[in-house]
Amino acid sequence: MPDGPDRPFISPDGRFIACGYQTGPNTPFEIAVISIAGKEPLKFFEVPLTVNVEDLAWTPDGSAIVYADTRIS
């Protein structure tokens, strides 16, 4: 796992953890989805610098992760 993960967000079924991180200053944020069993990350998602990865949330059914993007169009 790269350096700098933010606080974990546990899926509603308790099987997965989502956390955001940056690999360096001014690099895009990424979100990793990891099994609670501690295996290698299952998925990585790159998100814009305008996303606050401290505000991640799982949907109630655990099928998706949501976040807010603060960019102005």
Residue 24 sits in which domain range?
Answer: 9-66
Single-letter code of the amino acid located at 58: W
Number of structural domains the chain divides into = 1
Residue 1 lies in a domain: no
How does residue 1 score in pLDDT terms, banded at 50, 70 and 90?
very low
Residue 49 lies in a domain: yes
How does residue 13 score in pLDDT terms, banded at 50, 70 and 90?
very high
Residue 18 lies in a domain: yes
Residue 59 lies in a domain: yes
Average pLDDT over residues 20-38: 83
Instruction: State the Cα–Cα distance between residues 55 and 3, nearest whole angstrom.
Output: 19
Q: Whose CA is closest to 19, among 37, 6, 28?
A: 6
Q: Is the pLDDT higher at 11 or at 21? A: 11
Residue 3 lies in a domain: no
Structure confidence at residue 3 (pLDDT)? 46
Residue 50 lies in a domain: yes
Residue 13 lies in a domain: yes
Residue 51 lies in a domain: yes
* Widest Cα–Cα separation across the chain: 40
17 has which bridge partners? 10, 34
